[in-house]
Structure 1
Amino acid sequence: MVKTLAHNPTQDFESVFVARQPIFSRDELPWGYELLYRASAEALTADVTDDDMATQSVIADGVSLALEGLPEERSRVLINFPGKLLVEGTAFALPSENCVVEVLETVKPTREVLDALGRLRDAGYTIAMDDYGGEEELEPFLEYVDIIKVDLLALGNDLRKISKVMEKLTPYKASLLAEKVETKEVFEISKKLGFDLFQGFFFSRPEIVPGKKLNSNELTKLQLLQELGKDDFEPKHIAKILQSDPSLSFRLFRHINSAGFSLASKVDTLDRAVTILGQRAIAQWLRTAIMSDINPSPKAGELVFLSVQRAKFLELLALQTGFSKKAHPDTFFVVGLFSLLDAMLGVRMSDILKTLPLNELIACTLEGSCEEHTLLKLAHSYERGYWSDTDKRLKGLNLDQRTADNLYVQARQWAQKALAS
C-alpha cells in the first residue's frame, strides 16, 4: 500500500491510500501488481470521481511509490479506470512502459469509450478488462484489450461455466488472467484451462503437504527468531549471532552505512553497529533478515515483504491503541512476522506453534482466540484494499483513519528499507 497527496481545487492536501495486490505468472513468479485506490480518507471504495488534476496526481504519485524498490521484470501495475477518465484521456499521464489501463467492469462499451481505448492502444498502452464473465454486452471490448480478467469466484469455480467463458475468448489474442484464485487447487486447475496470469490469495495460503515437517535449517532460524523476541535479550548474544554468520554481518554493515543513517564515518565493527542501532532496533533488523532467508523463492519474497510490513504495522498499532500496555510492542511485531509462516513454509500454523512454543499472547493472536487478533484483521483489510471493512475495524478500535493511514505508510517504508539491506 502506498500513501500520497492529491491537490484539490481549494489548495488543501488530502490523504489518498493505495493497496498493491500481486499478480503471478504460470511459474508462480511475480509478474506485476494491481493498484486499488480510494480517492479520499473518507472514501469506502476505489471511487475515482475527483477532478482531473487531482486524479492524475493520485495515480502518478501512487504508481511511483508502488514501484519503489521493485525489479524491472515485475514493475508492471494495473490501474482501474472508470469511463469518464478513459474518455478524458487521464491515462496518458502514466508511463505506457509499465502501467496497464484496466477498464472497470462498470464501464459501458460506448463509442466514446472504445475510441478512447483505440487511442491508448495506438500510443502503446496495454489495456486490461476487469471481471469478464461471458457477458454479451461487454464483447465490443474484446477487440481492444490485451489482458482479460475472469473472476473465477463469481463463476462459482464451476469448470463448466469457466470453460464456456474460455471458449468465447478463443478467437482473441489477449492474455487471460484468472482473478480470485483462492487456493492452490484452483490455481492448478486454472493453469490447465489455459490462463496465463493469476491474481488472488492462493499465494498467501499454505500448500499442505501431508506429514511435512520443518527441516533443521528452518527450525534453527525460527528458534533464533524466538530468542530475539525475548525481553532480556543480551546485546552480546546479538554480536555472537552475527559473528557466526558472515552474510548477516555483511548485510548489517551495508544497512547501517547506507545514506539513511547519515553517519560521519563508516561503521566497520560489529560492536559499533550494535551500539549505534541499539538492542531493540538491531533485533528487529535481524528478524527481518532471517525471515528473508527462510524461503528465498520469488513467491515467498512477496510474503516476506508482507509479513515484515505487517509486523511493523502491528507494533505501531499496539502503541497507538493501548494494546502495548498488555505486552511489549515487540510482541506484536513478532505476531505480524510469524503470521504468514504457514504460507511460506507450507506447514499448518498449528504445527508451527507446536514446534516453536510461543508466549500465550502471540499464540492466541495468531490463532484468533483473543481480542488482540483484531489488529491482525485490520492489517489484513488494509493489505487487501477492503476499505469498508477497514473503516469498521478502525471504529471498533476507536482509531482515527488518518492516524492509521500514517502508521501503515511508516510500516511500509520501514519494511522497504529493512529488506533493501
Structure 2
Amino acid sequence: MGQHFIGRQAIVSKAEEIVAYELLFRSSEAPDHAEIQDDISATSNTIMNTISCFGTQAAMGRHRGFINVDADLLMSDTLEILPPERFGIELLETVAITPDVIGRCRELRAKGYLLALDDHTYDPRCRELYDGVVNVIKIDITGVDSAGMALLVEQFRPYPVKLLAEKVDSRERYLECNRLGFDLFQGYTFSQPAVMKKRRWDGSSAVIFKLMQQLTAEAELEDMEQTIKQSPPLVYKLLVLVNSISLGLRAKVVSIRHAVMMIGLHQLKRWVQLAIFATDGESCLDDPAVDLAAVRAVFMEELVKLTPLVRRNRHAADEGYMIGILSILTAVFDLPMEEIVANLHLSDEVLDALLNREGDFGVLLSLVEQIENLEFERAAERLEVLGIPLMAVLNCQKTAYSWRFGL
C-alpha cells in the first residue's frame, strides 16, 4: 500500500500572518518536489487528495487553498466541485489569455472564486483581467532588482489587484518587497513547501468507470449506490468529500445514498471525472483490507436486519454497512478512530459503536469481530443475550462472502 501526498506552502500578509496556502502536486516518486508530466493529472490528483483523502480541514485548516490549473481544466465544469469559499484558482503561466479564458474567469469570479495569475508580469493585453476579474498577481522576484520591482508595482497600481511576491528567499528581500508595496508574500523566508502524507487506500478503477457510465446514462440512484458499495475505499472517500464540499453541514450522514443526495448528482459526476483524470490505473483488488471491509460491511448490514434496530430506524441497515467499513480504518491508516471520524458527520449511535463498541451497533460490531477472530464461545454468549440464532448469523456471513466474492 502506497501513500497519498500533498504539498502546501504558506502565503502570508504584510503582518507575516498566514492568509492562504498554495496546494502543490507531489508524488510518491518525488515527494519533496514536483515532477509533473501532465498538468491535468497533477491538478486532478491535488484536488482529489485534498477533498477526498485528507479533507479540506486537515489540508488547509481555516485558510483558503489555491490550486494551479491549466487551460483545459480552467474551462472544464469539473473544476467547480471546489467550494468557492475555500479555494482559489491559480492560472498557470502557460494559459493563453484569450477572450474565452477571460469570459471563463469572469464566470468563476461571479461564483465567488478568488483568481490568481501565476508567475506573471505586466501585459497590456491582460488589462481586462486586471480590472476587477483577477484578485492576485503573483510575481516571481528571482533576479528582479529594486528598480524592476518598483516598476511592476507602479504598472499594477491603477488596478484593484493584490501583488504577491513569489520566491522570497531572504529577510532582506521580504522587507524590500514590503516597502515597495507588495501585499502578499510566499517563499522559503516564511516556509518551505510542507509535504503531508497519508497511507493510500484506493479502489478499483473499474468501479470508477462503471459509476461514470451510470451517471452519464442517468441510471437509478439505487444502482449507483450498489456500484459505490463495491469499493470500500470509494465509500470512505465519499464521506470525506461530503464534509469537504458541503459547508455548514448539519445533517448526519446515514447512508451512501444520503451522502450522494447531500452533494448532488452533478457534483458526484464532477468528482468521478476528477477521479478518472487522477487515476494511475492501479487497482486495490489484491488489498486484503478492501476484502475485509467489504465482507464486514455486508455482514453488519445483514446482522442489523435481524434486530429491532430496523423497526426503530429505517436507516439502521445502511448505518451498519458504513460502520463495517469505517471500523477497519485504524489498521488501514494507522490512525486513532477519533481522528478518522472527526469530520465525517456521523450519527451519535454510529460514533458510539466505532469509538467505544457501545450501543446496539457497538454490540453487533463486537460480535462480528469475535466471529472474525474465531472467538466462538464469546460470540455464542453474546448471541444468546441478543436472542439471535447461530444459523441466522452464519447465513449473514455467507451472504457477505457471496456478495464480495460471488460464492
TM-score range, shorter chain: 0.3 to 0.5
TM-score by length of 1: 0.41
Q: Whose radius of gyration is greater, 1 or 2?
A: 2
TM-score by length of 2: 0.43
